[in-house]
Amino acid sequence: MNKQTVKDIEVKGKKVLVRVDFNVPLGDKGAILDDSRIWAVLPTIKYLIAGGAKVILCSHLGRPKGKIVAELRLAPVGQRLSELLRHPVTCVGDCIGAEVEKEVTRLKEGEVLLLENLRFHPEEESNDAEFARSLAWLADVFVNDAFGAAHRAHASTVGVAEYLPAVAGFLLEKELEALGQALNGPAHPFAIIIGGAKVSDKIGLLQNILDRVDFLLIGGGMCCTFLKAKGYEVGRSPVAEEDLALAQQVMEKAAAKGINLLLPSDVVVAGEFAADALFKTVLITEIPSDCYIMDIGLESVEHFGAVLLSCETIIWNGPMGVFEFPAFQTGTKALAKLLASLDATTVIGGGSTAEAVTALGLAEKMTHVSTGGGAALRFLEGRALPGVAALRDKEN
């Protein structure tokens, strides 16, 4: 990574504004369902505390759309962070303004302040210059450790870097190095597993990796498009006409480059697109015309596994089925367990895929599980991340 990190700057006695990604999933009464994103930034926060910095944390949570939403306040996150740090964390009722400024002036070296949800202000997502200036006024230095928001050109990821020395935190550094190594310097054979709903959503990724991989494995809703493009019946599964053309282009390019493109050999189908729908597993040659494809079958998992056993590097982005319905998580979970058993570099590209791996307790068995779905996808597409581009280069 060619960006400066928190180790390249003096932090003792400095007010350090740290953009973190505390956008954690919440359950009833604000209970945190998965605290892995909080765990992920602990190394940076602990480093700053030990270095005598005055730590000011800022994050978004959910999509309040520029309004105050009581259920999306960050106080429960602050409490959990305090427990994990074993260190007091003070929460404040806003992220800018007189109250916040007063709390910042009271901060002593090694103390931690958590600002309120950035997205309670519409100016955050519009990257408003005055809002960014107000955030920057609070600190001497800016550290971006929110990989999950690095693909957003928001006030707290890009705007503040206009006014403060801006460097990367340890999580951001780790994400960029892990994804960069897997994409740009992989050990071969190299496979990428692509899931998700639409080909058009992943076309940038597909185009970027076809010059790099040896195997391309397709699952999720995307496989419906590829199967139909090959002439198979896909029932009532939605397939956009423009996606059919894109799928055909991908298959032709893969064939021309000698890339082994694998599709499921069996799928799980249901008569309704519903969580409680009755379902069965069929071969791809026997898909009923009145059904939806909801998941890949276990024969497909074994088929994919036979290929993956020979691979040295594997990137996985996108679930294998309708993951929001528990009955159709089987393919995704089976593939996660398979990857966890392999002696290979395994990189999980965030989002629902990371949630599945974490929920199964398999995250530590993977080489890297990304904390950012959208950011990881954009990086794998070969596109710049605004939140990274805004940081200081090493040579500066």
Query: What are the per-10-residue average pLDDT scores of the chain (396 residues)?
Result: 95 98 88 93 98 98 96 96 98 97 98 98 98 98 97 98 98 97 95 89 91 95 95 94 92 96 98 96 97 97 96 96 94 95 93 89 95 93 96 87
**124 shares its domain with 267:** no
* CA-closest candidate to residue 200, choices 141, 246, 162, 139: 246
CATH number at residue 113: 3.40.50.1260
Q: Can you read off the two tokens belonging to residue 259?
A: 């890339």
- The answer to whether residue 183 is domain-embedded is yes
- The answer to whether residue 393 is domain-embedded is no
**279 shares its domain with 196:** yes
Asked if 219 and 194 count as a contact pair (C-beta separation under 8 A), the reply is yes
Domain count, the chain: 2
Q: Within 10 Å of residue 328's Cβ, how many Cβ atoms?
A: 24
Phi, psi for 66 (deg, rounded to 5) = 80, 10
- The answer to whether residue 388 is domain-embedded is no
Looking at 143, 170, 197, which one is the last position of a domain? Answer: 170
Q: Going along 184-248, which residue ranges are E strands?
A: 190-194, 215-218
**213 shares its domain with 250:** yes
Q: Within 10 Å of residue 1's Cβ, how many Cβ atoms?
A: 15
Amino acid 241: pLDDT: 85
Phi, psi for 107 (deg, rounded to 5) = -60, 135
CA 138 to chain centre: 28
Domain containing residue 150: 6-170
pTM, full prediction: 0.92
Asked if 393 and 2 count as a contact pair (C-beta separation under 8 A), the reply is yes
- The answer to whether residue 90 is domain-embedded is yes
- The answer to whether residue 395 is domain-embedded is no
**122 shares its domain with 201:** no
User: What type of residue sits at position 289?
Assistant: S
- The answer to whether residue 389 is domain-embedded is no
Non-local (6+) Cβ contacts of 218 within 8 A are 194, 195, 226, 261, 262, 263, 264
**65 shares its domain with 165:** yes
User: What type of residue sits at position 298?
Assistant: L
110: left (phi over 0), alpha (psi -120 to 50) or beta: left
Q: Going along the chain, which residue ranges are E strands?
A: 15-19, 54-58, 89-91, 112-114, 141-144, 166-168, 190-194, 215-218, 260-262, 266-270, 279-283, 292-296, 313-317, 345-348, 368-369
- The answer to whether residue 208 is domain-embedded is yes
**165 shares its domain with 227:** no
Buried b (16+ CB within 10 A) or exposed e, 152-187: bbbbbbbbbbebbbbbbbbbbbbbbebbebbbeebe
User: What type of residue sits at position 138?
Assistant: L
Q: Can you read off the two tokens belonging to residue 101?
A: 């400024």
Distance CA 140, CA 215 (A): 48
Amino acid 250: pLDDT: 94
Asked if 284 and 264 count as a contact pair (C-beta separation under 8 A), the reply is yes
Distance CA 65, CA 289 (A): 41
Amino acid 268: pLDDT: 98
**225 shares its domain with 325:** yes
Looking at 170, 201, 220, which one is the last position of a domain? Answer: 170
Amino acid 359: pLDDT: 87
**79 shares its domain with 184:** no
**345 shares its domain with 203:** yes
- The answer to whether residue 385 is domain-embedded is no
The CB-side HSE value for 154 (13 A sphere, CA atoms) comes to: 23
Coil, helix or strand at residue 278:
coil
Coil, helix or strand at residue 82:
helix
Q: Within 10 Å of residue 230's Cβ, how many Cβ atoms?
A: 12
Tokens 């590829």 sit at which residue? 226
Non-local (6+) Cβ contacts of 290 within 8 A are 235, 236, 271
Looking at 153, 170, 187, which one is the last position of a domain? Answer: 170
**226 shares its domain with 354:** yes
Q: Which residues are catalytic?
A: 37, 198, 351, 374
CA 238, 240, 246, 252 dihedral sign is positive
CA 394, 118, 78, 106 dihedral sign is positive
**155 shares its domain with 198:** no
**363 shares its domain with 338:** yes
Q: What's the DSSP call for residue 289?
A: T
